Amino acid sequence: MPELPDITVYVERLAALAQGQRLESIRLGNPFVLRTVEPKIDAFGGRHLREVGRIGKRIVLSFEGELFAVIHLMIAGRLRWRPPKAKLPKKLGLAAFYFEGGTLLFTEAGSKRRASLHLVEGTNGLADFSRGGIDFLKATAESLGEVLRNKNRTLKRALTDPAIIDGIGNAYSDEILHRARLSPFKLTGGLTGDEINALHQAAVEVVNEWIGRLRDEVGDGFPEKATAFRPEMAVHGKYNQGCPVCGVKVQRIVYAKNEMNYCPGCQTGGKIYADRALSRLLKKDWPRTLEELEKLSSSKRE
């Protein structure tokens, strides 16, 4: 799922390419992508795009007359900028926004239609899309500590909860926690002041670094490769590869079609965790430390 760095660059490039232009029409390729009935889709035709913004991981197109198109890409949804009157792909195409100077295509890979489009009238309607999480780039370390300690949860779960943190998901939470050298399983209620500061600093660094990378990658064009798995990442998607900091092999836990990646050497004091389903199956055979993992790997090689 595109997260804060990806969404930021989407917003910036859409603003550069389409802001101020008149929208000629919106065409739906799949009627199920539209989750609202009012205002009508035809009401957007002929209106100019005043602003492009975001609410969490949602992209908001603001048109004159206080009409808004709210796009949630979910996992497989993507945006493409194409020349005027571009055709909407038959299989992947969800919707097309036909502007004077180009076409914004809204697509989704796979058969499960999770991406969504909401059409909203009036600024009050936008409030329904805000989950209330704080923005790492605007929050202080003190405000971060306050929201994290408000409810005792694992750090991984807290960072990916939009009611706590705005715009961060599975991929960047892994990278932030690795940079902060904090275990994803540590409970927020027990965080020290130094740990809060380290987490805040790591979050700001990671998010800004990735926004910069993606800006450089896109240049004056438009994002075409929004993905949660990138070779420059330290731990996310790097299972069984050496940590770039300490060299220890990255471990992961797979759960509910997601995965949590961490370095035992940098983050958990050498402890290795198993997901619950696998733990029930393997019981005592699951390695609990780096030493046990190395012994298990050695026995397999033999």
Walk me through the domains of the chain, giving residue ranges and CATH numbers. Answer: 4-129 (3.20.190.10), 133-302 (1.10.8.50)
Which token pair is 119?
Answer: 């059409």
In this predicted structure, what is the pLDDT of residue 259? 80
What is the distance between the alpha carbons of residues 178 and 161, in angstroms, rounded to a whole number? 18
Residues 6+ apart with CB under 8 A from 219: none
Determine the Cα–Cα distance for residues 24 and 44; give it in Å rounded to an integer. 8
Distance CA 44, CA 61 (A): 11
Backbone angles phi, psi at 152, to 5 degrees: -80, 105
Q: Which amino acid is at 135?
A: D
Q: Which residues pair with 197 in a beta bridge?
A: none
Instruction: pLDDT tens for the chain, 302 residues: list them.
Output: 789 999 999 999 999 999 999 999 999 999 999 999 999 999 999 999 999 999 999 999 999 999 999 999 998 899 999 999 999 998 899 999 999 999 999 999 877 788 999 999 999 989 889 888 999 889 999 999 999 999 898 999 899 999 999 999 999 999 999 999 999 989 999 999 999 999 999 999 999 999 999 999 999 999 988 777 899 999 999 999 999 999 999 998 887 667 889 999 999 999 888 655 445 444 444 445 545 544 544 444 33
Residue type, 197: N
Supply the pLDDT for residue 254.
Answer: 80
* pLDDT score recorded for residue 275: 59
**Residues 162 and 131: beta-carbon distance below 8 Å:** yes
Contact between 169 and 161 under an 8 Å Cβ cutoff? The reply is no
Copy the structure tokens of residue 17. 């390419």
**Per-residue confidence (pLDDT) for residue 51, from 0 to 100:** 98
pLDDT of residue 300: 40
User: Running DSSP on this structure, what letter comes out for residue 87?
Assistant: P
pLDDT at residue number 301: 38
pTM for the whole structure:
0.88
The amino acid present at 72, given as its one-letter code, is H
- Collapsing DSSP to helix, strand or coil, 224 comes out as coil
What was the pLDDT predicted at 291? 53
Are the CB atoms for 169 and 57 separated by under 8 Å?
yes
Strand order in the sheet with 103-108: 23-28, 93-99, 103-108, 77-82
**Residue-level pLDDT at 117:** 97
What is the reported pLDDT for 288?
53
Dihedrals phi, psi of 55, to nearest 5 degrees: -130, 105
Instruction: With H, G, I as helix, E, B as strand and everything else as coil, classify residue 208.
Output: helix
CA distance 167 to 201: 17
**Cβ within 8 Å of residue 53, ≥6 positions away:** 11, 59, 60, 62
